[in-house]
Structure 1
């Protein structure tokens, strides 16, 4: 969704829109867990203009499905897409390396001001919210989704789902450090 900043008046601007199932699938396509959208995602946003900066407060919920990381059963998730973000004009944004000013040291890698963690840059008169929604959705995804906390997974020998039944396979894995002693004849 695109918003022209001239449309944002003193009282703010409220917008609602649906992100299609296909667009959500495209947003999560690179995730190794294999997320897929179950339907469209509805988003509500309030935009406020503070001088030249734009404050975005958005809320939504993405309905996704993913294979369980242990047993591969389908898992349905409702992932919240809630964020507050300040958009700063590109000409105001200064991206210079941080340094230890008291000691006169070199730039400190990975450091940032806490206020800048919730800032992003925009250029021109139109703000495209879709890349921001994509980023926030990817940040909200669980990295290792499971169907239940005590999921037993799959048998490494026969591939049976151990949540359904015990297969009876010998899953004992000997310590590889002692494996060569198995060949010693006494």
Structure 2
């Protein structure tokens, strides 16, 4: 199942709300037309009346389907929020990140995790990024500590840059490497 962010769910919910509102307005308009035709002394053909009734039923069916989709999206949103809360409880935030703005280049973040999990050391990862001309947020060269900061930053998972499994693997590897002299 592809990863879905809360923001994308909120956008989908807004879209469905707009569609639902349009559908409701259309139902109201069709209902008013039918009522006008029923109360009006003017005659209409049976075919025209039947067509209007069919359109009304179709609109009601479509609205019901959108309401179901909307309800399902809200359920998914709640699940994602709960999953996020559970993840934030499990992850110990980096206590030394005061004043540091998180790096937000998704491509570079994925590259850092990939290189590290492929067996490169923190120093080798920083050398590779510096060699290719990639700079930090402050426009400086990468160091071991800046690579460690990226790898330990749980916001990379929260923001959808990497998966929780990749993050956990990197943290485990960092902790394992830290224990060996």
Asked which structure has the greater CA Rg, the reply is: 2
Which structure: greater helix fraction?
A: 2
TM range (shorter): under 0.3
TM-score (norm 2): 0.22
TM-score (norm 1): 0.22
Which structure: greater strand fraction?
A: 1
